[in-house]
Structure 1
Amino acid sequence: MARSIFPFLLLFLFTYYYTGVQSHEEGYVTAEISNKGLEFLKDLLIEKAESSLVPLELPKIEKSVKIPIIGSVQMVLSNITIEKIHVTSSTVKTGDTGILIDVSGATANLSMNWKYSYSTWLLPISVSDKGSATVQVEGLDIGLTLSLNTLQGSLKLSLLECGCYVNNISIKLNGGASWLYQRLIDAFEGKISSSVEDAVSKKLKEAIPKLDSVLQSLPKEVSVTDIAELNVTFVDEPELSGSSLDLQINGLFYAKNEVAHSKHYHKMLKASDSCNEADKMVKISLHENVLKSASSVYFEANKMHWMVDEVPDQSLLNTAGWRFIVPQLYKKYPNRDMNLNLSVSSPPIIEVENQRISAIIPLDFVIDILDADELIPVACISMVISSSGSAEISGHALAGNLKLNDFTMSLKWSNIGDFHMHLIQTVMSTMLKTVILPFANLKLSKGLQLPVFHGYELQYAQILCTDSWIVICSDVAPVEQLRLV
């Protein structure tokens, strides 16, 4: 029963969740990432950098030192490797100049080999020694300034400035007569510091284009069902302020295998409602035109129709059950089974209002008589249903509920004469309230599992509906953490 309606009903709620060259397109989905959200992203980026920057090999360092009486001593440091970087304090700020990430007081551990050799007139042979060493870097400060722009529907990340400074370094020699040469090796502190600064800066400069290529490779459309895709191209330039990063996404649905193009929907002002808790990581706002575009795609694909062939009171699907409602139907087709073929006659009118979504759905339902293997259409009744819906995030699923507000009916055509419409309306009211809506709400109550993005999903999400906008405020957490909540 009603097999084709539920993909659309689920899609109706599914659109609550989705929120990916300067453009004149409008963004019907906006994502506002707060300072808390930027801190979360910054911590992820630094955690990734701590592991991806190491091991980092530094160039060999050679130095010649003149020592009285002994003469010139040739010293070489090789296999210098940064094995670990640990960040203890970092901040992120947004402003007109871009996104600034500042790391202060980080530490780093290095390993290396040392070797020295010299010849002197005091001895007839060359003297040499070698061993290993560990290096502890304290007070490593790193600063990055990044710019974020849109380019052909994608986000482009660029590095504006990058700097690295070592405050303090200590070297401990191992092997050979290391105790004797420690003071000689200390003369390399400046060169080791400069080498660390240059190597870290170079590695970061190489990493930003790689991160940018990941952003550039993000899909510009997301497959939602077998016939619908979501346009997630970024439009307009990102807005940076002292408290957030704002992105705009096209956000409209279009048919699969159809070239995405701008649709001329009128859009109201940006959503202004705030969540109850001001410290959420992200606020995603969806304009009602996102729902309208989904409705249009399904209507044009002729998917908004379904056949009612099973009901709890099966007598309603036999002409005998209509004997006193439509006598001429029973007279012409006595004791024949029936189907009700329902289809949406034009795209539903969808509006987002205060704390609810309302929809006016125009329906045609055709009464079909089963005659052997043939369906005989005998009448068509036009119906306009006024309904409203709500949604909530329960656990890790998006669930919802539909409610019938009102409906009207009229006879569109008939092969068996006029009907007493007030009697038909009573039957249809009962069927809507006791069969169709309860069945739909049972499906919707089970909800849709919210999608996971690279191991992260929404946490403690709130959904608000205001004038023309749906607003989702949420934190983000690893899937493993959510499963323990």
Structure 2
Amino acid sequence: MFLSVRLLLLLAVLAPVTSTTNPGVKVKLTQKGLEYGRQLGMIQIQQKLKTIKVPDISGSQKVSPIGKVQYSLTNMHIVNVGLPKSGLGLVPGTGVRLSIGNAFISLNGNWRVKYLRFIKDHGSFDLKVSGLTIGTTIIIQSDETGRPRVSSTNCAATVGGADIKFHGGASWLYNLFRNFIDKALRSALQKQICPLVVDAISDLNPQLKTLNVLAKVDQYAEIEYSMVSSPTVSKSSIDFGLKGVFYNIGKHQEPPFSPAVFSLPPQINNMLYVGMSTFTINSAAFVYNSAGALSLYITDDMIPAGSPIRLNTRTFGAFIPQLSKLFPGLMMKLLVKTAKTPVISFQPNNVTVQASGTVTAYAIQPNATLSPLFVLNLETSVSTRVFVSGMRVAGAVTLNKMDVTLGTSYVGAFQVKSLDNILQMVVKIVVIPKLNAQLAKGYPLPTIGKMKLVNTELKVLKDYMLIGTDVQFTA
């Protein structure tokens, strides 16, 4: 896992922190996700092992019957690394264990000997070391920003047998010093492996800092994905908790409600599962309502040209006779806004938004000043379809029902019921399309690097929605 930032992207939120806060977002990485990361990681570790630098080796050895032989091995470099067998397994309560077996490293270099004081010989050699094994445990922690930081512990590497082929020089010398050269080279290689593993892990941390712990949504909001608890490692998955809360940009005011406990189902068919609670979505509603973003002025030019309903005192005067008398021949403007934060609820296969709002009607005077006409109270219910679009969760709403009552009238009493059809039309052809245009932009999921979701499925369950997905990465 440590070998590939792509795998760590799957982990997405792996660092432990100390907190009693329940997460608003949960992430589950399955064994299938680990297997994908292992495949990518072996490519990286293979390239890393090819960078092994074998220092020149020299010394002397008594070789019967010719006596002392001085030797040197120079210009050695790796020509091939093979990692045919590897595994990445979960260690419950601990972390992830990487194991590599039956690996091999091939290198070549030059040899030179001197014996009987004045006789010299030289040539080249090829060495293939087989039976190489590597094992290490990956520890995942949190840095000061709430992003994951990785390190390894208990790294061990062993080098098996070696096959040496000498080229050039007097062939009778080969077997005389084959054994001690074999031992020296295997020792030099073994000393290099674990430090490279440690380096490979450390090299990932700058890339892990690209995790969008604080992701901008738009001019009003950003969402925080910092980790709130240590990962839970089981036999089948790693589960992580994210804060998952929306804030007004530059002003991190906590919402007046807290996330409830929820658990992801024991599904393992996809690489990754992301559970987003109603807390997260309701914190978004709180932010947008606090920012005053849930309001809309509606003017006549926003009504389709072919509609017989126009925003003027003549149309409304047909239902409120005194209106056309007090404000004859004037265009009108409506202000639709929420009266309090909307409430979103998740039930199996159903997302419902309950919203209380007002509609304030104005007459537009010739000098462009606005004269208030009346204020209506709205109680609306909309159904929401949620879906994944790219690396964002998006939505679209449809109106279920709308109840209208009179709040204040500046033009005398009138039958509010008579305005139902007009208001239904305004909401359906103006307000809903505007809202859906914003919802279609979505809000970002937690990501690292160039991540793409594939085979994605979203389900709405009680109190949370579940995204099951596989992942691909591009360079």
Is the pair's TM-score, using the shorter chain for normalization, greater than 0.5? yes
1:353 aligns with 2:347: yes
| Displacement after TM superposition at 1:274 (Å) | 5.5
Match of 1:410 in 2: 405
Task: Report 1:221-236 matches (<5 A).
Answer: 221-236=214-229
Which of 451, 470, 473 matches 1:475? Answer: 470
Secondary structure of the structure 2 residue equivalent to 1:267:
coil
2:73 corresponds to: 77
Contact 1:149 1:238 in 2 (8 A): no
C-alpha root-mean-square deviation of aligned residues, in Å? 2.7
Partner of 2:245 in structure 1? 252
CA distance in 1, matches of 2:189, 2:464: 51
- Aligned counterparts of 1:250 and 1:450: Cα–Cα separation in 2: 13
Range with greater deviation from structure 2 (213-222 or 102-111): 213-222
Q: Which runs of 5+ in 1 are unaligned?
A: 1-18, 121-125, 481-485
Q: Tell me which amino acid in the other structure corresponds to 1:243.
A: S
Whether contact under 8 Å (1:77, 1:113) holds in the other structure is yes
Q: 1:307-356 CA distances to partner (integer Å, 9 max, x unpaired)?
A: 22211127421222212112222222222111211111211011111112
Matches within 5 A, 1:115-134: 115-120=112-117, 126-134=118-126
Structure 1, 155-164 or 204-213: larger mean CA deviation: 204-213
CA distance in 1, matches of 2:63, 2:80: 35
Separation of aligned partners in 2, 1:446 and 1:253:
16
Q: Provide, for residues 453-478 of structure 1, a one-character-per-residue CA deviation record: whole Å limited to 9, x for no partner.
A: 42321111111111111111111123
SS of aligned partner of 1:237: coil
TM-score by length of 2: 0.87
- Aligned: 1:141 with 2:133: yes
Q: Distance in 2 between matches of 1:180 and 1:222?
A: 70
Give the structure 2 partner of residue 199 of structure 1. 192
DSSP-derived class of the 1:322 partner: helix
CA 1:264–1:238 in 2, change beyond 3 Å: closer, same or farther? farther
Aligned to 2:191, what secondary structure does the other structure show? helix
- Indicate if the aligned counterparts of 2:381 and 2:401 stay in contact, CA closer than 8 A: yes
- Between the two proteins, the alignment pairs up a number of residues equal to 453
Match of 1:241 among 224, 234, 241: 234
Matched, 1:392 2:387: yes
* Paired AA for residue 244 in structure 1: S
- Which residue matches 2:257? 265
* Letter paired with 2:132: L
1:453–1:205 Cα change, 3 Å:
closer
CA–CA distance in structure 1, aligned partners of residues 290 and 444 of structure 2: 27
Report if the CA contact (8 A) 2:88-2:98 is conserved. yes
Would the aligned equivalents of 1:89 and 1:103 in 2 still touch at CA under 8 Å?
yes
Write out aligned runs for 1:58-457 (5 A): 58-95=54-91, 96-120=93-117, 126-150=118-142, 152=144, 153-174=146-167, 176-177=168-169, 179-187=171-179, 188-212=181-205, 214-215=207-208, 218-258=211-251, 260=252, 263=255, 265-273=257-265, 278-309=268-299, 310-312=302-304, 313=307, 315-372=309-366, 373-393=368-388, 400-437=395-432, 440-441=435-436, 453-457=448-452
1:60 Cα shift?
2.3
User: 1:475 and 1:74, CA in 2 relative to 1: closer, same or farther beyond 3 A?
Assistant: same
1:412-451 superposed Cα distances (whole Å, 9 cap, x missing partner): 2222112310011221123323443356557767978989
TM-score of the pair, normalised by structure 1? 0.85
Structure 1 position 465 matched with structure 2 position 455: no
Measured at CA, do residues 234 and 84 of structure 1 come closer, stay the same or move farther in structure 2, by a change above 3 Å?
farther
Question: Which range moves more in the overlay, 248-257 or 69-78?
Answer: 69-78
Structure 2: how far apart are the matches of 1:281 and 1:55?
31
Contact 2:335 2:360 (8 Å CA) reproduced: yes
Where does residue 15 of structure 1 map in the other structure?
Answer: none
The whole-number CA distance in structure 2 between the counterparts of 1:201 and 1:178 is 37
* Matched letter for residue 241 of structure 2: Q
| Bigger shift: residues 162-171 or 447-456 | 447-456
The secondary structure found in structure 2 opposite 1:334 is coil
3-state SS of 1:303 partner: coil
Q: Distance in 2 between matches of 1:366 and 1:183?
A: 99
Unaligned runs of 5+ in 2: 1-11
- The residue type paired with residue 231 of structure 1 is E
Q: Take 2:438 and 2:212, find their aligned partners in 1: how far apart are those partners?
A: 30
Amino acid at match of 1:249: L
Matching residue's letter, 1:286: M
Secondary structure, aligned partner of 1:341: strand
Contact persistence 2:255–2:286 (CA under 8 A): no
- CA distance, structure 1, for counterparts of residue 233 and residue 208 of structure 2: 18
Post-superposition Cα deviations, 1:3-40, rounded to whole Å, max 9, x if no partner, equal xxxxxxxxxxxxxxxx7442222211110100011112
Distance in structure 2 (CA, Å) of the matches to 1:210 and 1:331: 77
Change (3 A) 1:299 1:437: closer
TM superposition shift of 1:70: 2.6
